[in-house]
Each structure stands twice: as structure tokens, then as C-alpha cells.
Copies of this chain bind each other. A is one copy, B any other.
Amino acid sequence: MLSFESDYTEGAHGRILQRLTETNLEQLPGYGSDAYCRSAKEKIRKACGCPQAEVFFLMGGTQTNMVVIDTMLQPYEGVAAARTGHVSLHEAGAIEYHGHKVLELPQHEGKISAGDLKAFLEGFWQDENHDHMVFPGMVYISHPTEYGTLYTCRELAELSGICREFRIPLYLDGARLGYGLASRNTDVSLPQIARYCDVFYIGGTKVGALCGEAVVFTKNNMPKYFLTRVKQHGALLAKGRLLGIQFDTLFTEDFYLEISRHAIEMAELLKEGLHKKGCRFYLESPTNQQFLIMENEALAGLQKKAAVSVWEKLDENHTVVRLATSWATSRENVEALLELL
């Protein structure tokens, strides 16, 4: 059966498996201290145009958000995020489980606005009772967002400016960062993200890797004894090579962007086809996730032949459906899906 359910239905890009195989019997030290991790970090620093960046590899998105947020916040602080942010809704409360409130802001197609953020932060500090409240200690954004949308450079700059004014870090969740960078409708590059964000992660799991996310601290701000804290969260991998080799491959000769571009091309192909068929889009997404409004009956029919992601109920008769392409999506499958619709 066809699947456009998510961007993590396949294993890893073949080149990654090949590198894992080639290096397999080398004896390497553990916990990320091997040469492949070092090399991968160096390549990421270069790609970010940020020579002082500190890079750490973790396993998955929720784990990364949990570790980064918990280690960067003070215990009396929470993280501000869109109501639809992954940390607010879909991490089983991992942030709160580790002691921190998610301070929810209004969302605009998955994004937060500089205006809302500023009003919230000013309101907090003006409130006479703010010492009985949770201090905003970080701003979380996802790019692409959970709705596939992207911030513009100007929006990032504004959010970054507000964060600096209030002296709290801006954290960007880049689970699908490749698909954001490779979009045709973006003016945001990796060096700009490194410039505007205090910390962000480059997603591997959804962009060609078996697993793994690369956290980048851009301002000499990696929390003290970070390895120990990662271990304390059960997130330190013994065979760090598994992550190092994957990211080393992804950041060799622009490979990360190259495979991301493929996903975007497939998404454009899909989009074009859907438009031709008169499908209704829930919103305009410039990345690999496309959101359709489908009649429930049509959806039921489709689901017999293709796996898609049921996003949310729109009304009694309609459902929002997500179709995702990835580095692994074939042109044939896109065409087959279009025929089904």
C-alpha cells in the first residue's frame, strides 16, 4: 500500500547505511568521543557559518526538546510556545514531566507572532504578582512548523530581537529543517538560523537518517556538564558513532540539502496535481507536508489504498488530512497517489 503518512516511513538514505557498514568494525571510543562525531560537528559548524558552535547528537525529537528545554531553563522558568507546538501538544507532557510549564501563545498557521510574544513578555514583567507565576525563560518555535509553514528571515529577526531584549534564548525545533531550507519559498538559510537562534536542532530522523538530531548551541551557551545531564535524561548513546557517522554523511558535500530538495520537488509535484484536481487545501504550505480538506467519505475511500495522516476534524463532514513527502518519496508513488484521488 502507498504511504504518505509521514516522512519517517523508510529507513535511512542508502549512503548512510553504506558508511555505517564501511566503518562497522573500527574500534571507537563511546559516548560521542569518536572521530566521526568530531568530524560531523566540524562540518555542521561550517555549514552554519558558526565556528564557535557547540554540537551534540541526540536520538529523537521529543528527547531533544526535553533535554534542551530542561537543561537551559532555570527551575522556575517555563517555555513559551504556540498552542500547536510539538512541545505543547504531542510530547506526552515530557516538558512538564521534567518540571517546566509550556506557556502557550496564540498560533497563526503554526507560527507565533512577534506582537503576541512581546505583549506576553511585557505583561509578565508588568504584573505585580509575577513572582507567584512561572517565569518565561525561553521561546520555542518550530521551523517548518507542525503545519509545514516557515518563518521569514524578518520574522526570525524580530523574534530574536525580542528574546534578546528580555534576555531569554530563542530555540528552534528543526525536526524537518532540511525541508524548510530546501523550500522554494524561503529566505532563511542555516547561517541565518545560527545567527538568530541561541540554540536549534537539525533533524536527522525525518531527513534521511535512521535516527538522530544534531543540537547546535550558537552562543557558547551549552549547559555546563551537558554530557552528564544528557545521561541523567537517559539520552546518552553508548555507541555515539551511530549518530556521528550519520551526520557526517549528511553534512558531506551538501548532502542534507540535496536529499531535502528531492522531498520538496515531490511535494511540488503533488501540490500541482492536487490543485489540478481541484482539491481544497487547509493552508498553503511551502514544505514537504501538505494539508488537504477532504470529505469524510472520500477520505474513507482513499484510506483503503493509501496511508495518510488524519490531522483533525474540520466539521461533521470534513477532515483535515496530511500528506508528507520525504527524501525517499518516488515520483511513481506521487503519481499513483494522484491517480487515486
Q: Which of A10, A28, A232 has the most CB of B within 10 A?
A: A232
Q: Which residues of B contact A63 (CB under 8 A)?
A: 234-235
A10 to B245, CA, bound (A): 13
* Interchain nearest-CB distance for A224 vs B (Å): 8
* Interchain nearest-CB distance for A132 vs B (Å): 5
Q: Is the CB of A93 within 8 A of B76?
A: yes
Query: Does A51 count as interface, using CB distance less than 8 angstroms?
Result: no
Which residues of A in the span 51-76 have a Cβ within 8 Å of any Cβ on B? 59-64, 66-67, 70-71, 74-76
Query: Does A276 count as interface, using CB distance less than 8 angstroms?
Result: no
Query: Does A161 count as interface, using CB distance less than 8 angstroms?
Result: no
A interface SS class: loop
Number of copies: 4
Which residues of A in the span 225-248 have a Cβ within 8 Å of any Cβ on B? 225, 227-229, 231-239, 241-242
Query: Does A11 count as interface, using CB distance less than 8 angstroms?
Result: yes
Q: Which residues of B contact A66 (CB under 8 A)?
A: 234
Q: Is the CB of B21 within 8 A of A21?
A: yes
Can you give 9 contacting A-B residue pairs, CB < 8 Å? A5-B29, A11-B20, A61-B238, A90-B133, A91-B232, A92-B133, A94-B234, A99-B99, A128-B310
> A residues engaging B (CB < 8 A)?
3, 5-6, 8-12, 14, 17, 20-21, 23-30, 59-64, 66-67, 70-71, 74-76, 78, 89-94, 96-102, 104, 126, 128-129, 131-135, 205-206, 210-211, 224-225, 227-229, 231-239, 241-242, 307, 310, 313, 328
